[in-house]
Structure 1
Amino acid sequence: MRVGAAIAGVTALVGLTTAAPAGADNDWGINGTYEISSNGQLAKINERFQPQPGERSTWTITTVCSSPSDCAGTVNSDAGWSAPIYTSNGLWYVKRVVPEWRFCADGQPVEGLRVYKIYPVGFDGHYNAASTEYTGENQTLGPSGSCGRNQWPQIRMPFYMKKV
């Protein structure tokens, strides 16, 4: 019994000395300034290729993580908007509402939900958690029934982000 108590005590002591202090810096999050671009030349509207205006801007990202799979923060774009960023299943998500995303033939505005799905990528195009370059998709989805069509209007295009 004494041996078991001694082992438990040593294990607890080792755990305390090797654990990271609360609020310690880690490399799990995305923090810094990034140049982003979405390639409108490769855009798809409802799964049909059709060139669209691309997107270029600078994002300032701040995140806080409690583990590699639990991070959240904020994206501030030089285009004048802010949105939350979080991670789930190895992907980073940025979601924001785009007011007056499109206009119907009668001039009625339609709002869209823009979702950026991104992940870190290495020089070989494969997932690399240590990379400062990210790739993924920029998708904007409108409400079904907008403009009198029983279809969710959707635009998808490739996305790229690099730390500056």
Structure 2
Amino acid sequence: MRVVGTIGCATLAAAAMVPGFGSLSAASPDSIALNGMYRATSDGQWAKTNYAYHNEATVTSVWTISSACTDPMDCSGRVTSDQGWSAPLRLVGGNMWFVTHDVENWEQCGDGMPPAPGHQTFKFSADENLSGWDYTVGPSGACGANKWLVVEMPFKLVKIG
């Protein structure tokens, strides 16, 4: 029994030394919620198109975010972008925020084919960095190609107001 207790104490001591470990459980719900204006940047310099690096345009916008948390694991809210869209915001697992919305006419097709929509997901950390990924996928079969167009870019939010 003493050995198990020693291992348990060592595990807790090691966990206490890991930066950020357990920080959300000690945080108040108000400190986790995102509220205010943020600069949202999707860095096209490091974009991947269909999983291969391919330079894309960097996209910067301003998001107005309103959210509330009932506890450090249960947060939700709304993002309104100056690009003209609005979407739900949710915290998953206490450590990652998700925003998803559809982008009309996202994939431009040549040869007179109609443009295809894209489904865009922003996934970013709930820590002070607010960094993650902007991931957009078009439907298979769009533009006459039997595969999805996938564009993934590094993403970062910075509070501006």
Q: TM-score, normalised by structure 2?
A: 0.76
Larger radius of gyration: 1
In structure 2, stretches of 5+ residues that fail to align are 1-27
- SS of 2:56's equivalent in the other structure is coil
Query: What does 1:84-163 correspond to in 2, within 5 Å?
Result: 84-89=88-93, 90-107=95-112, 108-120=114-126, 129=127, 131=128, 133-163=129-159
Q: Which amino acid aligns with 2:32?
A: W
Aligned residue number for residue 59 of structure 1? 63
Q: CA RMSD in A?
A: 1.5
- SS of 1:41's equivalent in the other structure is helix
Aligned residue number for residue 4 of structure 2? none
Shift of 1:25: 6.9
Among candidates 32, 48, 55, match of residue 44 of structure 1? 48
Q: Which amino acid aligns with 2:125?
A: Y
Q: Which runs of 4+ in 1 moved over 6 A?
A: none
Structure with greater helix share of residues = 2
Shift of 1:28: 2.3
Q: TM-score, normalised by structure 1?
A: 0.75
Contact 2:29/2:70 (8 A) holds in 1 = no
Number of paired residues? 131
